[in-house]
């Protein structure tokens, strides 16, 4: 009997979100200084709790652009500027999310799952659509003010891309 990893089985919501985080590393370009040497891993940081601990372990066994993936937990009070991606889960309070978003993270893509996360202040927001599918929204204006570049294939799969002229 073949053993499937959690990324190929029928995934739950958080496994899907972790797959998205993994794929973000393929379609986001960071500045060369932030990408470090090609041996440096992509750092995906999690702020809050997620029930997909097995999927998180599987994520750390993956490679993206021939680089390892590492994950770490961050508290609201910890600096996250060494993270390539910071995933803020919905169990973090709005005031704490606002505090995190208020600190400049020029090279960190901030992903969240609270209502209107990308529209309001985040970079990428997870959204559950009417069919209970996980989709994404991207705030291109926020990411353009950072030292990151979101490539077209990721923009094409987004349910909504917010641009400066749409937010006024």
pLDDT tens per residue, the chain (168 residues)? 334 454 455 568 888 999 999 999 999 998 775 555 566 899 999 999 888 677 788 888 888 988 999 999 999 988 888 999 999 999 999 999 998 888 878 899 999 999 899 998 899 999 998 888 999 999 998 888 888 999 999 999 999 999 876 544
Count H helices, E strands: the chain?
8, 10
Sketch out the chain's domains with CATH numbers: 13-162 (3.40.50)
Cα(99)–Cα(79) distance, integer angstroms: 12
Tell me, what DSSP letter sits at residue 92?
Answer: S
Q: What is the predicted pLDDT for the residue at 143?
A: 87
Distances (CA, A) of 129 to 141, 160, 163: 23, 12, 21
Q: Are 133 and 110 in contact (CB under 8 A)?
A: no
Task: Report the DSSP beta bridge partners of residue 11.
Answer: none
Cα(2)–Cα(136) distance, integer angstroms: 32
């Amino acid at each position: 009997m073949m053993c499937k990893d959690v990324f190929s089985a029928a995934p739950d919501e958080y496994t899907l979100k972790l797959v998205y985080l993994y794929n973000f590393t393929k379609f986001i370009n960071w500045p060369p200084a932030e990408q470090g040497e090609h041996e440096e891993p992509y750092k995906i940081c999690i702020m809050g709790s997620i029930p997909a601990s097995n999927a998180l372990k599987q994520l750390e066994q993956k490679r993206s652009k021939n680089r390892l993936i590492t994950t770490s937990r961050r508290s609201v009070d910890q600096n996250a500027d060494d993270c390539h991606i910071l995933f803020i889960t919905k169990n973090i309070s709005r005031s704490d999310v606002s505090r995190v978003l208020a600190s400049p993270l020029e090279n960190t893509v901030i992903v969240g799952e609270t209502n209107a996360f990308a529209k309001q202040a985040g970079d990428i927001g997870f959204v559950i659509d009417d069919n209970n599918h996980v989709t994404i929204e991207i705030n291109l204006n926020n990411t353009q003010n950072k030292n990151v570049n979101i490539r077209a294939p990721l923009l094409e799969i987004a349910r909504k891309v917010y641009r400066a002229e749409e937010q006024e």
